[in-house]
Amino acid sequence: MNKPLLALLLMFSSAGLWAQQEDVDLTTPAGITDQMLNLISVEQGVDPDWDAFRNLFSPAAQMLVTRKDKNGRSIIRDMNIEEFIRMAGGNYAAEGFEEHAIGRVVNEFNGIATVFQAYECRNLTGTYEARGVNTYTLAFKDGRWWITHTLFTNETPDAPLPDELLFDSNKG
């Protein structure tokens, strides 16, 4: 292939990638929270786009995970974005992962928002499946939303997802 043709093909394929990134809706609370799920949903053997993931968050953002231990006591794991990527990143590529919203409640006022997003997720090896709630605290700056904080927990038999957090099509 001649060099001018190769350069032209690279230019158009790069433009397509930039257009895809620009099409991502970070201007609404639902858009940015759905984008987070899109970015961690990958086929087995594929790494998430961690740079695009980082771009969703404010510099000092925190992520927390809560769950119950064997004795029913609450455990909270607190981490920054880089710690989350180190903790969970390898599993996404090794096992594949998909997560999607099955409900959402947004409260917004004067440049801040909270989002309760009910989710279903699973790895693609068939060894993990769960439903639960992601909560997000968002701030609006420079024409878009930024995630400043997330907290997530899985549904349990003692704490099923409430209908008010679910889209009508997911209510039980």
Place of tokens 């909560």: 135
Strand partners, 117: 104, 134
Burial zone of 114 (CB within 10 Å; 0-12 exposed, 13-18 middle, 19+ buried): middle
* Range 35-40 average pLDDT: 96
Assign 1 a pLDDT band (cuts: 50, 70, 90).
very low
Q: What pLDDT digit, counting tens, does each position of 148-158 carry?
A: 999 999 999 98
What amino acid occupies position 115?
V
Q: Are 76 and 65 in contact (CB under 8 A)?
A: yes
Question: In the predicted model, is pLDDT for residue 19 greater than 70?
Answer: no
Place of tokens 């790895």: 123
Assigned token pair, 155:
């549904």
> Which pLDDT value is given to residue 6?
32
Q: Say if strands 57-68 and 129-141 run parallel, antiparallel, or are unpaired.
A: unpaired
What is the model's pTM?
0.83
Q: Report the Cα 21 to chain-centroid distance in Å.
A: 16
Query: Which phi and psi (to 5°) does residue 165 adopt?
Result: -95, -5
Q: What pLDDT digit, counting tens, does each position of 125-146 carry?
A: 999 999 999 999 999 999 999 9
Q: Are 128 and 11 in contact (CB under 8 A)?
A: no
Q: Are 63 and 80 in contact (CB under 8 A)?
A: yes
What structural domains does the chain harbor? 25-170 (3.10.450.50)
Q: What pLDDT digit, counting tens, does each position of 85-132 carry?
A: 999 888 999 999 999 999 999 999 999 999 999 999 999 999 999 999
